[in-house]
């Protein structure tokens, strides 16, 4: 199978650079990396072009106009441009353990989606990494929170691989999430009615659950470190929460404004003329 790593970003080119460099260091490389850009300035496109010159796999940049926080639409564009059978989603402020992709693929099964965790870095450690590009982080490193998420243990990971039996939305973060492309297409991807921060990823997995796609947690594996940033504006939370509740109540599977809005042959933008 072909694996596509989709990296969401918005106007944070140095964090994106460190994120993609960590993807280049994977022991098991994805077949391609797709940067799903929610309207960044031209300097992000320049950064991607520079990285593409030394990338070990194809590196694409899919851009959309800056019309507010539209992560759902950006991810759909990334999926439409990708060629992989299996999709791994991360955010452009995540630093990946060298076995991150391998850990996801180890337990990938059709009809299941995988939720990984993240390790939170503080502002001082983030500033150092962005400046130097060097990071050797583990569960005993300074400047991290929730350090249990930095423990990688194949033995412990094997004990936590049972399907998730509680709420599918608990602890959902699309910054470390993977599934088969066919299952994304089955529910028509992310709902692009979600504009502004919050709940677009929870609503996505609710429809996966309604379609019979089972959640599995990936603990003590697929380690990813989250570079610090101030919190996003939460002005849209109430509106988005109401749409989430509607999908739960109606047992919705497919969204109306989703992946099928983008042709499968959607051309990459941002790495050429705009």
Per the prediction, the chain carries an average pLDDT of 91
At 144 the three-state DSSP class reads strand
pLDDT band at 103 (very low <50, low <70, confident <90, very high): very high
Domain assignments of the chain as residue spans, ordered by start: 3-261
Query: Looking at domain 3-261, does it have CATH number 3.60.15.10?
Result: no
Give the mean model confidence (pLDDT) for residues 236-262: 95
Overall average pLDDT of the 77-106 stretch: 97
Q: Is the pLDDT of residue 251 over 90?
A: yes
CA 37 to chain centre: 12
pLDDT band per the 50, 70, 90 thresholds, residue 168: confident
C-alpha to C-alpha distance for 23 and 88, rounded to whole angstroms: 12
In the chain, which ranges are continuous DSSP H helix?
13-24, 42-52, 71-81, 100-106, 123-132, 154-159, 181-186, 200-210, 237-250
- Residue in this structure with the two tokens 């992989």, named with its chain if needed: 84
For residues 115 and 142, give the distance between their C-alpha atoms in angstroms, rounded to a whole number. 25
Average pLDDT over residues 83-108: 97
Distance CA 51, CA 31 (A): 16
Cα(48)–Cα(64) distance, rounded to whole angstroms? 15
pLDDT tens, 130-147?
A: 998 888 787 767 788 888
As a whole number of angstroms, the distance between CA 214 and CA 164 comes to 7
Mean pLDDT value of segment 102-113: 96
pLDDT tops 70 at residue 267: no
* DSSP string covering 76-96: HHHHHH---SEEEEEETTEEE
Residue 24 has pLDDT above 50, yes or no: yes
| 172 — pLDDT class (breaks 50, 70, 90) | very high
- 1 or 235: whose pLDDT is higher? 1
Residue 81 pairs in a beta bridge with none
Greater confidence, 108 or 147?
108
For residue range 143-163, what is the model confidence (pLDDT) as tens digits?
A: 888 888 999 999 999 888 777
**Distance linking the first and last C-alpha atoms of the chain:** 33
């Amino acid at each position: 199978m072909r694996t596509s790593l989709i990296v969401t970003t918005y106007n944070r080119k140095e964090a994106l650079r460190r994120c993609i460099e960590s993807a280049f260091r994977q022991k098991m490389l994805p077949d391609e990396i797709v940067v799903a850009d929610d309207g960044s300035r031209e300097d992000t496109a320049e950064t991607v072009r520079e990285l593409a010159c030394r990338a070990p796999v194809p590196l694409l940049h899919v851009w959309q106009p800056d019309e507010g926080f539209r992560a759902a639409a950006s991810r759909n564009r990334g999926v439409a441009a990708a060629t992989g059978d299996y999709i791994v989603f991360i955010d452009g402020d995540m630093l990946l353990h060298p076995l991150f992709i391998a850990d996801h693929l180890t337990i990938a099964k059709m009809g299941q989606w995988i939720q990984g965790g993240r390790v939170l870095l503080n502002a001082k450690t983030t500033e150092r990494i962005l400046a130097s590009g060097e990071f050797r982080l583990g569960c005993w490193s300074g400047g991290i929170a929730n350090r249990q998420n930095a423990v990688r243990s194949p033995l412990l990971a094997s004990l936590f691989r049972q399907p998730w039996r509680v709420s599918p939305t608990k602890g959902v973060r699309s910054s470390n999430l993977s599934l088969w492309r066919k299952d994304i297409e089955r529910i028509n991807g992310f709902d692009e009615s979600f504009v502004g921060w919050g709940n677009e990823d929870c609503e996505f997995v609710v429809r996966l659950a309604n379609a019979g796609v089972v959640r599995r947690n990936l603990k003590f594996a697929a380690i990813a470190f989250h570079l610090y940033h101030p919190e996003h504006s939460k002005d849209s939370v109430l509106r988005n929460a109401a749409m989430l509740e509607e999908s739960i109540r109606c047992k919705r599977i497919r969204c109306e404004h989703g992946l099928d809005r983008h042709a499968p042959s959607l051309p990459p933008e941002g790495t050429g003329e705009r």
